[in-house]
Copies of this chain bind each other. A is one copy, B any other.
Amino acid sequence: MRRLFSVEEKENFTVVSFTFDEFLSPDFLKKLVPPKVDFRKGVILSGRGPIWFYGYLIHFYHPSKFIAAYDPRLGGAVVVESHCDEHEVGDLIKV
């Protein structure tokens, strides 16, 4: 399977985006190695994928400063966990 992660560095967070060109099998998670990021910054996840794929990434990036998931309907990313004072859970980060 061809898969594509792309990583964009911003001052306070890293945007980890992905696209898939095929149906994703859960087995795929067993050998998945997501991009490394600087855990001192936050992570914004963006892309279309199954809920469990996001679930895996959210767990994977748990040590980062905060994690937010991009929602195109909101035009921004919603913070789902945070270990810092700048962003709290439920905040919308415009991107």
Kindly report how many copies of this chain are found in the complex they form together.
2
A: number of interface residues (CB 8 Å) = 31
Given the contacts A29-B80, A30-B90, A71 and B58 also touching, CB distance less than 8 Å: no
Return the CB mask of A67-95 against B: 1 if under 8 Å, else 0: 11101011001111100000011111000
Interface of chain A: mostly helix, strand, loop or mixed? mixed
Seed contacts A27-B90, A52-B71, A55-B69; 6 additional CB < 8 Å A-B pairs: A26-B71, A50-B71, A52-B80, A55-B55, A56-B80, A58-B58
**A interface residue numbers (CB < 8 A to B):** 26-30, 45, 50-52, 54-56, 58-59, 62, 67-69, 71, 73-74, 77-81, 88-92
